Structure 1
Amino acid sequence: MNLEPVLENKRVLLRPLQASDLDALLEVALEPSLWEITSQCIRNREELEKYIQVALKEREQGLSIPFVIIDKHSGRVAGSTRFAAITPQHKRTEIGYTWIHPELQRTGLNRAVKYAMLQHAFEVMGLNRVELKTNERNEKSRNAILGIGCKEEGILRHHMIDWNGRLRNTVYFSMLIEEWPEVKERVFGKYDF
């Protein structure tokens, strides 16, 4: 499995995360609104550096494929995302750890990111299942996940503790390989990616 693929469409470039991306990502990561309803929080350069180090170590171990998100319309670094919890023996992964600068949210960028990742997961990696999850309180994220054609599976109660100590219920979503062709056409077919 290629742990450093480059994914691209007309709207977005997803390139492998590197330690040298620290400065480019710092401006985005220091936006406090990104971390209001999350299990992690990045408040300074050191926390972002640790975040990147963990992501790169997980890539070395074959557990995740972290990306830098580049918005091709503006040419700027927009945030980060990754394939996580890669489980080759069960042909599944999770799309997660996605954070995008607030100015670029609700612009279609995240939809282009998810399209590129779902297409790669099903058509290149040959996976059977892609999972997504979010905080039960994060309505914006829940609606976005449903909006790309994923199915809500249920809520894991007290699943995690957020960075601020609050107990988190986590909503799980998924898409299956047999659902992808219809979702690709119905949800993403109207966009010029």
Structure 2
Amino acid sequence: MHLTNINQASEFVTLRPLSTEYFDALIEIAKDKNIWTHYPMSLHEPDLMRGNLEQLLQLQAARQWIAHVVIAPNGEIVGQTCYLNLREPDCGVEIGGTWYDAKYHGSKINPAAKLLMLGNAFDAGAVRVEFKTDELNLKSRAAILKLGAKFEGIFRKHMKRVNGTWRDSAYYSIIDSEWPAVKAGLEARLAAR
């Protein structure tokens, strides 16, 4: 498995590799504190977000993360999504670091972005794609299940939240044998008007 950046568009979303040209738009969206409620960090302050984006580019250069900017059909930048925890010898990867402008929550942006990312991962030879979220983030947990991922369990006291409390993380995965059915389900979901 050898994953690369996605530079693709569908009817519902465009994914582009993260670069400095997108920083200002992402920083503006990230000012919404509600985005960071269930994250292990809060990036609503412009300097913090800029530092995070610069760090993502460094992690990308080291092939530890592969970050993408998510763009709506109208050309508006709406957030980011990433590959992380790349385990190329084991043909596994996590999709995460995902956040969107609140006005796009519940739209076709997320399932369309995940369809492109999952397709790219499985086409590159992945046998396992995983997702994780805060156990308390019920919206994210429902969205992951709606993608077709299987719940695997809870990692207790997995990481600290911004407020210093311990986060338990809910883990999910899609494996290669499940991908054809998951893909068909996502395509049907996106085709529904």
Q: TM-score range by the shorter chain?
A: over 0.9
The answer (yes or no) to whether the contact 2:65–2:82 under 8 Å persists in 1 is yes
Percent of aligned pairs with the same residue? 32
TM-score by length of 2: 0.94
Alignment of 1:1-193 (within 5 A): 1=2, 3-72=4-73, 74-123=74-123, 125-192=124-191
Tell me the CA shift for residue 135 of structure 1: 0.2
Matches of 1:175 and 1:181, distance apart in 2: 10
Q: Is contact 1:85-1:94 (8 Å) kept?
A: yes
- Structure 1 Cα separation of the partners of residues 135 and 107 of structure 2: 23
SS in 1 for 2:113: helix
Question: Following the alignment from structure 2 to structure 1, what is the Cα–Cα distance between the partners of residues 83 and 3?
Answer: 12
TM-score, normalised via structure 1 length: 0.94
Question: Equivalent residue of 2:49, what SS?
Answer: helix
Question: CA separation in 2, counterparts of 1:8 and 1:92?
Answer: 24
Following the alignment from structure 2 to structure 1, what is the Cα–Cα distance between the partners of residues 23 and 185? 37
Contact 2:108 2:190 in 1 (8 A): no
Q: Tell me how far apart the structure 1 counterparts of residues 140 and 39 of structure 2 sit (CA, whole Å).
A: 11
Taking a change above 3 Å as real, the CA distance of residues 174 and 2 of structure 1, as seen in their structure-2 partners, is closer
1:12–1:61: structure 2 CA closer, same or farther, 3 Å change rule? Answer: same
Between the two proteins, the alignment pairs up a number of residues equal to 191
Asked if structure 1 preserves the Cα contact closer than 8 Å seen for 2:132 and 2:169, the reply is yes
Distance in 1 separating the partners of 2:24 and 2:48: 12
Q: Deviations over 1:55-76 (max 9, x none)?
A: 111111111110111011x320
In structure 2, the gaps of 5 or more residues are: none
- Structure 1, gaps ≥5 residues long: none
Mapped contact 1:94–1:132 kept (Cα < 8 A)? yes
